[in-house]
Chains A and B, each alone.
Chain A
Amino acid sequence: MTQLPLRAQLASALGRSAATLSRMTGRGDGSVIGGRVGLLLEPDLLRKLARDRKLALVSATNGKTTTTRLITSALLELGEVATNAFGANMPAGHVSALSQHKSAPYGVLEVDEKYLPEVLDTTGAGVVCLMNLSRDQMDRAGEIWLLAQKWRRALSGRPTHVIANCDDPLVTWGASTAAQVTWVAGGQRWKEDSWCCPECGGPLDRKDAAWACRECTFHRPEPHWVLHDDVVVDPRGRQWRVDIQLPGLANRSNAVMALAVAEAFGLPVERALPRLGQVTSVAGRYTTVERDGRYARLLLAKNPAGWLEAFDVADPGLPIILSVNAQGPDGRDTSWLWDVDYRILRGRPVFVTGERRLDLALRLDVADVPFTLCASFGEALAMQPPGRLDVIANYTAFQQIRSEFGRAE
């Protein structure tokens, strides 16, 4: 690594001490405050920290944190990797991540969908990984056609190598202005935001995995990597079992994206895949909390597509607790609950809690799903027989459970 200019060194060091202070005073993991301090002192800090590294940016509405973690795990095979492991996915978080690993030759950065153009421009990252785009916290996030349009503009005319999920038409459109694209058929469970052609607005016809616009030439590109359930076919036609510990189809799809990114860094599948299998939990997701013999597995679901993924993982034979909040990070609008098809829960013991439990209660009532309303997660847990159960919670509800209940070992 070349030396940072003195001013950038100072800004980076002061940012790190602010982060330490923030951790010591119990104000979170400090990655945002540290980065903010650094950026305040040196607005060009991110560009300087990114220089001379091989960077991958990871963006999507679902699976960013997990995929970032999987890619990082794979690239550790090559050397030290700087990453924003705690989901602080805006520039302050990126500054903090890169500051903490100043000599790391590689970086994997989770990037908020809206910030992707800015962060790509600032860092000049060589690789960008794009998985999916669906409705998400519309009271604070952008509109997704508009987002995809901004991705197109940001990628156009750059040497960036994009790894993109061609099963998602909007992602395909967003990625297709890039100079080089590796297409991954990673699947698309949530289709409600892509019935129309992003290019012309015409209807998209679908047959199995294929899709094509009825009115213009826009269609699914030929994939280089194809995931079939738990087997992936790589660009050379070799088949690999996607043997990972993270549960569900969505995570196998994330893993295949990670394999394709690893290959773009020169790391072959046979070296990357075993490393993906070592990841067991990502920022608390899929961990189990325990109290009095009740073992509750935590699934995070922040938007309708996320709920579909969580339903895919949840065990239909177990009771399930659902917890929904609507604080700032969750989006203050609970309208999205009406986009989730809860009928799959019929027949299971269902318990409803969280700050917006009355919204969810009405939603389940209209879906004819019987449930028990509980004032708190603790109360819901105490109502369970000893043994295992599943929990689906959105962002702050999930964090509340994590901070109140220890991790079971």
Chain B
Amino acid sequence: MPSDSALRIVWIYPDLLSTYGDQGNVLVLEQRAQRRGIPTETYHVRSADPVPEGGDVYLIGGGEDRPQILAAQRLRRDGGLHRAVARGAALLAVCAGYQIMGTTFGGEEGQPVEGLGILDIASSRGPARAVGELVAEVDVALNLPTLTGFENHMGVTHLGPGVKALSKTVVGVGNGDGFEGCYAGHVVGTYLHGPALARNPALADLLLSWRVGELPPLDDSRYEALRQERLAAVLPA
């Protein structure tokens, strides 16, 4: 049984939705909690197993079309993630994981597939694959520095009135309408795939702070060096 003081990180379906470095988000959250003296317990929940509803921060990653559809079916049947979000748990949903949080998304042949309805968004297949570095300015209400990361997807996502855009794209495609990602309550969705939190430690801290309150600063020089290099590489001089 988990101890009461530990922060519980739940990685959903690494067997289906973990194509490329998604583990990075787990590791960054663990590191940033532990370096502040907060113990962590991490659960890798395979798709055959029930999703525990008592977690603090949930992560779900990217994947191919078929695994994405399977993951959506199983999560809807399971219901654990819905209950966790209703309890106020934080959730970071990335790429394919982002799309399935909506009401529908595009399947292998572009057919609409029913999502989880946790976010008020609807996704479909875009005209072309969006691949490359992405830079975006975060909604001022969240008070976060510029988002930086890599996107690799074919989705177009329409935001409904129940969510706010996470950021406005400067470089890259994101949702496909000039904005990237969205958020509502303690749920954040983004097309920044793989280790999005490694490039955006402030976003990791936001997820943590939703569960544990205000956090003391860390020495972020390694993160900052990488951020500055990537931003300089893709932003027009």
Contacts and interface: CB of A to CB of B under 8 A. Distances in A.
A135 B48 contact: no
B47 A146 contact: no
B132 to A, nearest CB: 7
B225 A358 contact: yes
Given A195-B46, A362-B222, A145 B67 contact: yes
B23 A196 contact: no
Contacts of A339: 20-21, 23
A196 B21 contact: no
Given A138-B152, A335-B150, A338-B194, A362 B19 contact: no
A214 B132 contact: no
A406 interface: no
Chain A interface residue number, banded: 20 to 34
B206 interface: no
B222 A143 contact: no
A366 interface: yes
Contact of A139 (B28, B67, B152): B152
Interface string A194-209: 0110000111000000
Contact of B28 (A337, A361, A366): A366
Q: Which of A144, A334, A361 has the most CB of B within 10 A?
A: A334
A80 interface: no
B190 interface: no
Chain B interface residue number, banded: 35 or more
Contact of B64 (A146, A214, A336): A146
B229 interface: yes
A335 B195 contact: yes
B225 A203 contact: no
B47 A333 contact: no
Interface string B25-53: 00110010000000000000011100000
Q: Which of A146, A195, A365 has the most CB of B within 10 A?
A: A195
A362 B20 contact: no
Interface string A313-335: 00000000000000000001111
Contact of B19 (A135, A201, A363, A366): A135
A366 B194 contact: no
Contact of B70 (A192, A201, A361, A366): A201
A338 B27 contact: yes
A203 B14 CA distance: 12
B100 interface: no
Contacts of B24: 335, 338, 363, 366
A192 B226 contact: no
Contacts of B195: 335, 338
Contacts of B48: 202-203, 214
A259 B66 CA distance: 35
A332 B152 CA distance: 11
Contact of A138 (B15, B19, B28): B19
Q: Which of B65, B133, B222, B229 has the most CB of A within 10 A?
A: B222
A147 to B, nearest CB: 10
B198 interface: yes
Nearest to B149: A335
Contacts of B14: 192, 195
A290 interface: no
A367 interface: yes
Interface in B64-86: 64-67, 70
Contacts of A367: 27
Contacts of B70: 196, 201
B7 interface: no
A359 interface: yes
A362 B66 contact: no
A359 B27 CA distance: 14
30 contacts: A139-B131, A139-B132, A140-B131, A143-B64, A144-B64, A196-B16, A196-B47, A196-B67, A201-B16, A201-B47, A201-B66, A203-B15, A332-B133, A333-B150, A334-B150, A335-B150, A335-B193, A336-B21, A337-B21, A338-B21, A339-B21, A358-B225, A359-B226, A362-B198, A362-B225, A362-B226, A363-B198, A365-B222, A366-B24, A366-B31
Interface of A: 135, 138-140, 143-146, 192, 195-196, 201-203, 214, 332-339, 358-359, 361-363, 365-367
Given A138-B19, A338-B23, A362-B225, 10 more contacts: A146-B64, A195-B46, A201-B67, A203-B15, A333-B152, A334-B150, A335-B20, A358-B222, A361-B226, A367-B27
